[in-house]
Amino acid sequence: MADRVVSEVEWIFLKTLSAKNRFPPLFVVGAPRCGTTIPLLHLVNTFEFSYFPNISKRNPQHPLIAATLGALIWDYTPTTESNYGVVKGPMAPSDGWQIFHRWFPRYDHSEQVDTESLSDLRRMVAFLEFLMGGPFLNKNNNNSTRIQELSQLFPRSLFVHIRRNPRDAVASLIRAREEKGVSPDEWWGVAPPHRHDTAPTGTVERSVLQVCEVDDHIRNSLQEISEYRRFGVWYKSFCEKPERLERWVEDKYDDFGSDFVRHANKPTRTAYTPSSSWKSLSISTRNQVEKLLSIHCR
């Protein structure tokens, strides 16, 4: 009962807010297990960004009230540690899946997007900008297949596309599916939009299709957006020189005339070590992956 009342109060408040955003939001996109979390955390640790914190994700019916109360009680402690994309701490950045699912049905592109209420998402972002003092930043694999809708909702939005050696991404996805106990006939993470109900049964083939075809979908979607608003980088290249991404982000917000703030206590970390699960796969599985990659990846 109390939860419902709080949710209704937030929605009433939300309708009174201006839908005008101070900054272009920044979306980090990539296929599952392609290394999007480390770039996200590097940006959050380097610049003043706003985002859906974990406490908002845990309270998706009233995420703004949760974020406001959370900001009064806790601070975010900069970290580069995560567990399959999940960062510990109530005010640490989250993907906000449960919140975005109000408008974008989870993984299922056959369902209609609730376009009539999408302006509510824009208002939420505007409030988080005010609360946290910086542009909105999000990394959510499901949104990697919603680039067109996000670009229409936020006409100045920026996109960072993280790509990874397909062998490493597939190996990481296979390992994650095994650890999470995912059935061979189920997806784990966002699926290629046109294969939601037509995918083959089998962990290896699903993993290859997921990595290759989601990445293809991202690249095709980004081709519809001005080159000025998008930045692509391989995960290994980012790990070697993260300052390239820093400079691109900083230059873009400078161009927009945004009051963009770099943390005074900027982390001294200037490189990361990319990991790989490739050699943990059996030889037969590696051979199967290589064969499927030669068919499905370009």
pLDDT along the chain (298 residues), means of 10: 81 81 96 96 96 97 96 94 94 95 73 77 94 96 91 96 97 96 90 76 92 96 96 97 95 89 74 92 97 91
What is the C-alpha separation between 259 and 227, in angstroms, rounded? 23
The residue assigned the tokens 């640490």 is 92
Domain range 2-296, its CATH number among 3.40.190.10, 3.40.309.10, 3.40.50.300, 2.30.30.100: 3.40.50.300
Nearest to 25 by CA among 256, 220, 237, 214: 256
The residue assigned the tokens 């989870």 is 106
What is the C-alpha separation between 112 and 117, in angstroms, rounded? 12
pTM beyond 0.85, yes or no: yes
What is the C-alpha separation between 75 and 242, in angstroms, rounded? 25
H-assigned helices in the chain: 2-16, 37-46, 54-57, 63-73, 97-100, 118-132, 147-153, 166-180, 203-222, 235-240, 243-255, 283-296
Nearest to 62 by CA among 114, 23, 98: 98
The per-residue pLDDT for 259 is 81
The per-residue pLDDT for 261 is 87
Nearest to 230 by CA among 169, 125, 130, 148: 148
What is the C-alpha separation between 67 and 55, in angstroms, rounded? 6
Q: Which phi and psi (to 5°) does residue 146 adopt?
A: -125, 30
Q: Taking the domains of the chain in order of start, what are their residue ranges?
A: 2-296
Q: Which residues pair with 93 in a beta bridge?
A: 53
